[in-house]
Structure 1
Amino acid sequence: MTGTLFDDPTGDGDREAPPAPDAPSGRPAPERQPLAVRMRPRSLDEVVGQAHLLGPGTPIRQLVDRDAPMSLVLWGPPGTGKTTLATVVSQVTSRRFVEISAVSDGVKRVRAEIDLARRELGVAGRQTVLFVDEIHRFSKAQQDALLPAVENRWVSFIGATTENPFFSVISPLLSRSLLLTLEPLDEDDLREVVRRALADERGLNGAATLDPAAEDHLIRLAGGDARRALTYLEAAALVVPDGGVIDADVLERAVDRAAVRYDREGDQHYDVISAFIKSIRGSDVDAALHYLARMIEAGEDPRFIARRLIVHASEDVGMADPTALQTAVAAAQAVEFVGLPEARINLAQAVIHLALAPKSNAVIMAVDGALGDVRKGLAGPVPGHLRDAHYKGAARVGHGEGYKYPHDHPGGVVRQRYAPDAVHGREYYRPTRHGAESRFTEVLARIRSVLRGARSAEPGGKKG
């Protein structure tokens, strides 16, 4: 039988065989456990995803195959398999497995488990895997309590975190552990997780089928999180009778999330992004936010959205509000550093800024006008006084001769030819009177006047 890769949604660290329903622990019988728990892998070969961590010779394989004591910090988004990897390591090596939750346990529990691990190691020679979930929630003092056990290898420590460990895990503990980074599961991985759960006897065992449209919607909703995919699948399976078909309507009712009709490779992709940009260009902030929400909900790559905002900031806002580009770039960086769902706020801020900003297409018109002339062959030689004069012999051929250094002149602008003869007098940049660009209209008119000799750059505009 096969399983899947995901974190433990129950937070229950006891990996012994579950007791009967009336046992004192109160743990449910296997058939009553959540689907995500029932489908947990029993070996590394059953794990889906994270191939970069599970190949021959990787640290986790060494830990399993050679039974080597080792401390690991597993860093990755929810539902990518941090708890699963720790559990599999303990099961396949027959080690004692102890899970501590940084949310509910403190130093007292940590020290008690370490003492017990030392006794097990000394008396029975049995090693302990001490798994600390959400290690980033432990204070510095609580993390310090782990150091002796890690240093002396009384336990094989495995810490899991969704936060950057370089900021959330103390340096002494991090330096004694191997950092492994887990990635969100891709669509193919999630499809395998879902299909296994539908067919496996530990899962739904054929009690329901999933039509293609519903499967696509489920994969989008999961967002790389296998646990979420299985939770939604289980909820949908409860709605249909045995042998029934889970379609998009059933899935919508079960998880209370509408299926956005959106194909990232088809017409919807291009139509929605087109409407998104045109809404921003037209200053309709509400429509722009609607299309942003549609793309996010449908699982569009947030980096694609951010790239379009960066382009739009220069193409349709430009110098009318030069800070728009800064906001768009900052939103793109936030997408990389933070990711969804939090980065939706950063993207929304950029959308609002760009939609409400004064508009100008003068930047794109300027560069495309210049490119058009170059493509027509309007280039010509660089004027002699602008050519490189730093090499030996340049003076003999007249390179740089007659160049006027602008900083030596009042206002930093002096009458001088810069463009080649073929395009002399062409005006590519034509600023609008919108927003901050109105100021550049006046500045540019004054500069062009000086360059062409109509006036000086000095206050008062004396000719020179």
Structure 2
Amino acid sequence: MASPLADRLRPKTIDDMVGQRHLLGPGKALRRIIESGEIPNLIFYGPSGVGKTTLASIIARQTNRALRKLNGTTAGTADLREIFTEAENTFTAPNGILLYLDEIQYFNKKQQQTLLEFIENGKITLIASTTENPYFYVYNAILSRSTVFEFKTVEKAEVAKAVERAFSLLEEERGEGFQIEDGVVGHIALACGGDVRKAMNSVELCVLSSPAADGVRKITLETAKELTQKSALRYDKDGDEHYDLLSAFQKSMRGSDPDAAVHYLARLLEAGDLPSVCRRLMVTACEDVGLAYPQIIPIVKACVDAAFQVGLPEARLCLADGVILVSIAPKSNSAHNAINEAMEDVRRGKYGPIPRQLQNKHFDGEDNPVKGQFYQYAHDFENHWVDQQYLPDVLKNVEYYHFGENKNEQAYRQYWEKVKGRKL
């Protein structure tokens, strides 16, 4: 059985790799480290299919180390100890072992501590890779002994080079000619979402699904589109990409960029994550538009209710209305700041007895020397307002809410300045 195309086409040198120029370009730090031959423990962090495994193999080859690979989803402590035993044998590994541990985030703390025990003496060099943020998932003691490099999705132009090489290799292996329609290479390079391995799989599928006539296979753009229609989507509801996407969605609405907000909405809906979209949309309407346009809250709630009622794909229409409205609406976070400050005081224990006039009491005990509740009913006074103390004594002069600079809140401010007879 033939190995996958991505493995058969795996680069043998740094210069053959596509992407990661910020790490591997001439004069860049990681390239200089590799060329020195003195390889420290490394952690490669980034999405799948961008060259982490490939670079580990190149490093092992260039430094003449024995490469051993483990995956955090399947390996255990026994597998580690087997490699550690091998590293003690100078005949089988005279230059030491390079251990490539993929998906290190799946190793628990005890397993990572075991790993730490054997990378201290230098006979094993660790290159760990992860698709998750290592500062959240990797044991601190390993992080402190390693250098972290972040890999990024590969640019379309770089992926296109790999796609062209893949078609050439398959043409040679199969002894056939390929007639590749204009746009096929570019579409695959774009649709893979920066994942070179995914692009290689798409190339192989395009070849296998295209009919041959007289020793020539015609690979059409229609075929490429059919086989890659959802391949660009990177989404894991438990991973960093999930939270990055939601963060970008919310920040784009807050930043009043309707185009970016709709873009991220489309990505979230394509992944089918309707609940997360609705939650973030409601939160942004309250947190970031708020009192600048308070009517937006029931409007957005209606959009969310309609989205759940009709379901996808029609829900995209209701949600697009809400997202664009939130994006272009005036912004105010005055209520957000007020409640945060009030909650901080409560958490610090800065509160006191509720003023007597606000308590839910209609009689006085014999122990109370001053009888009467003394509450003044605001509606009995002009403009439905009377000057009395509402905050506890310890917070008597605290101000949590400050009027925003938007039209609505300034109108409220002017009204209450007139009623209360003082600047607010």
Contact 2:289 2:326 in 1 (8 A): no
Which AA in structure 1 matches 2:47? Answer: P
Q: Tell me the residue number matched to 1:293.
A: 266
Tell me the residue number matched to 1:266: none
Where do 1:295-310 residues align within 5 Å?
Answer: none
SS at match of 2:37: coil
Q: Once the 2 structures are TM-superposed, how far is the Cα of residue 254 of structure 1 from its aligned partner?
A: 3.5
Give, in whole Å, the separation in 2 of the partners of 1:226 and 1:318.
46
Write the deviation string for residues 162-203 of structure 1: whole angstroms up to 9, x where unpaired: 010001110111111111110110111111111121224677
**Alignment counterpart, residue 104 of structure 1, candidates 74, 84, 90:** 74
The equivalent of 2:419 in structure 1 is 456
> Which residue of structure 2 aligns with residue 6 of structure 1?
none
Worse-matched range after superposition: 163-172 or 54-63: 54-63
- Name the aligned partner's letter for residue 46 of structure 2: G
TM-fit CA distance, 1:450: 5.8
Q: Corresponding residue for 2:52?
A: 82
Whichever residue aligns with residue 184 of structure 1, its letter is T
CA distance in 2, matches of 1:83, 1:77: 12
Match of 1:245 among 201, 215, 218: 218
- Evaluate the alpha carbon distance shift between residue 160 and residue 241 of structure 1 in structure 2; reply closer, same or farther with a 3 A threshold: same
Contact 2:191–2:231 (Cα < 8 Å) also in 1: no
Amino acid at match of 1:320: P
Matched residue SS, 1:229: helix
3-state SS of 2:64 partner: coil
Asked whether the equivalents of residues 235 and 255 of structure 1 are also in contact (C-alpha less than 8 Å), the reply is no
Q: Structure 1's 124 and 150: CA in aligned 2 closer, same or farther, altered over 3 A?
A: closer
- Once residues 89 and 174 of structure 1 are traced to their aligned partners in structure 2, the CA distance between those partners, rounded to angstroms, is 20
After superposition, the CA RMSD in angstroms is 4.7
* Structure 2 contact 97–125 (Cα < 8 Å) conserved: yes
Could you tell me which residue of structure 2 aligns to residue 198 of structure 1? 167
Distance 2:152 2:98 in 1: 23
Counterpart of 1:355, as a letter, is G
Cα 1:198–1:295 change in 2 (3 A) is farther
Alignment of 1:36-435 (within 5 A): 36-58=6-28, 60-119=30-89, 121=90, 125-200=94-169, 207-242=177-212, 243-255=216-228, 257=230, 292-293=265-266, 319-321=293-295, 352=319, 355=322, 363=330
C-alpha distance in 2 between matches for 1:212 and 1:295: 31
Aligned mates of 1:360, 1:63 — CA distance in 2: 46
Structure 2 CA distance for aligned equivalents of residues 153 and 204 of structure 1: 45
TM-score (norm 2): 0.58
> Whole-Å Cα distance in 2 between the matches of residues 359 and 64 of structure 1?
49
Q: Distance in 1 between matches of 2:49 and 2:164?
A: 17
Structure 2 Cα separation of the partners of residues 116 and 222 of structure 1 = 39
Structure 1 residue ranges without an equivalent (≥5):
1-27, 260-279, 281-287, 298-305, 328-344, 365-408, 412-427, 432-439
CA contact 2:66–2:93 (8 Å) conserved in 1: no
Q: Secondary structure at the match of 1:77?
A: coil
Asked if 2 retains the 8 angstrom alpha-carbon contact of 1:36 and 1:231, the reply is yes
Deviations 1:96-126 (A, max 9, x none): 110011111100100111110121x367623
C-alpha distance 178-314 of structure 1, shift in aligned 2 (>3 A): closer
SS at match of 2:128: strand
| Closer, same or farther: CA 93–350 of 1 in aligned 2, 3 Å | farther
The alpha-carbon distance between structure 1 residues 101 and 293, as it changes in their structure 2 partners (threshold 3 A), is same
Q: Paired residue for 1:373?
A: none
- Runs of 5+ consecutive residues of structure 2 not aligned to the other structure: 233-252, 254-260, 271-279, 302-311, 332-385, 389-404
**What is the percent sequence identity of the aligned residues?**
27
SS of 1:174 mapped into structure 2: helix
Letter in 2 for 1:171: N
Paired residues of 1:362 and 1:430 also in contact (CA < 8 A): no
Cα distance in 1 between the residues matched to 2:222 and 2:41: 46
> What's the TM-score, normalizing by structure 1?
0.53
Equivalent residue letter for 2:210: V
Any conservation in 2 of the 1:198–1:209 contact (CA below 8 Å)?
no
Asked if the contact 2:34/2:59 (under 8 Å) is kept, the reply is yes
Relative to structure 1, the CA distance from residue 111 to residue 212 in structure 2 (aligned partners, 3 Å threshold; closer, same or farther) is same
Number of the residue aligned with 1:334: none
Query: CA 1:171 to 1:291, structure 2 compared with 1: closer, same or farther past 3 Å?
Result: closer
Over 3 Å counting, the alpha-carbon distance change for 1:290 and 1:102 in structure 2 is: closer
Q: Give the partner amino acid of 2:134.
A: P
Q: Cα distance, 1:154 vs. partner?
A: 1.1
**Does the C-alpha gap of structure 1 residues 356 and 154 become closer, same or farther in structure 2, counting only changes over 3 Å?**
closer
Which sits farther off after the overlay, 216-225 or 142-151? 216-225
Alpha-carbon offset, residue 296 of structure 1: 7.8
